Structures are given as structure tokens and as C-alpha cells.
Amino acid sequence: MSLIRPEAQAVIWRWREALLGLCVLLLALWWGLTAFGLLRWVAAALMVAGGLLAVAGLQRGRFRLGSNGAGVVQVVEGQLAYFGPSAGGAVALSELAVVSLDNRHRPSRWVLCQPGVDDLEIPVNAIGAEALFDAFAALPEFPVDVMLQQLRHPSDNKVVIWRSTGSIPQFRLED
């Protein structure tokens, strides 16, 4: 028997990093106001760490849209795999060319394009989809803010979030 309603537990679990960062920040603030000497400097460092953890937690919380969707996502050693009920596949993060968000489906789907491989479509609420946040953030110059904005206010079409600079063919004109 749980003392917390399942809906409240789901909200707490979604925002867990932000709540932890806020707790660390409040504890450090209390130490900073009531302590003296070396502990005050430790409190200042903890305030910075708590603030950074809270900001990162807010980003992760905005990315999590539930985990009751179809299929399972795994990210292992640079390989992103999706095992769905009717489709699935894997892509190498180092070979990824395009990351898109397709809002024409309900729920929305991530579309990952790798040359020579069929596009991999992953529902945003698939089990384990929160691992995609770290995978996407590891891509060079990935616009996390644009991604979070598209998740919060989806358009009615497919939106390219990120494109690898190596995926655009470079043509050289010769004289």
C-alpha cells in the first residue's frame, strides 16, 4: 500500500532531478545563512551545484512525456535501439544524420535517419525514451532548447530538430 497517489507519484518521478536540485539548493541556502567559516564556502558551492541540478532537471522533466507507450528504447555504447510491437531497429549515434520530430502521429514520434538504414521511428512516450535526452544532447551542437520547445508546442507536421554537418553534401565548383 502506497501513501502517495499514483498520479502524484508519477509527477514526482517526472520532475525528480529538479526536486532534488531544489532540495540541495534550499539546504545549502540554510547552511549559508546559519553557518560560518568553511561551511559557508561549502554552502556556496552546493548552491551552485543545486541550481545547476535544478536547471538540468527542469530540462529532463520537460522531455519526459510518459513511459506507457508502445515499445522499448535502449541506448548502449553509442547504439540506439528501439524494439516496438510492429517495427524496430537500431542506429549508431556516431552515424546519425538527421533527428526529426513527427507530430502527424499520436503520440508524436522521433524519426532518426542514418544513411543506408531505414528511418527509425520511436514514439516519444516509449518505455525508456528518457534515455534519448542524453543521447541527443551528446550529438554535436544539438539544440536542446529547440527540441524542448517542439515537444511543448508541437506543430502539425514533421520538424527537423538536428542535422549532422557531415550529412549535407559539399559541392565544389571548379573553374
- Residue 172: what pLDDT? 37
56 and 82 in a single domain? The answer is: no
108 and 133 in a single domain? The answer is: yes
- Residue 24: what pLDDT? 95
- Cell numbers given for 147: 527540441
Name the pTM for this structure.
Answer: 0.70
- Residue 51: what pLDDT? 94
51 and 33 in a single domain? The answer is: yes
Q: How many domains does the chain have?
A: 2
Helix axes 38-63, 16-34, angle to 10 degrees: 160
Q: Are 119 and 112 in contact (CB under 8 A)?
A: yes
- Residue 175: what pLDDT? 36
142 and 122 in a single domain? The answer is: yes
- Residue 1: what pLDDT? 64
**pLDDT average per 10 residues of sequence, the chain (175 residues):** 81 88 95 90 94 91 77 91 89 92 88 92 89 90 89 85 70 38
d(CA 73, CA 83): 7
81 and 44 in a single domain? The answer is: no
56 and 83 in a single domain? The answer is: no
81 and 160 in a single domain? The answer is: yes
Q: Are 72 and 127 in contact (CB under 8 A)?
A: yes
The whole domain housing 33 covers 6-63
87 and 30 in a single domain? The answer is: no
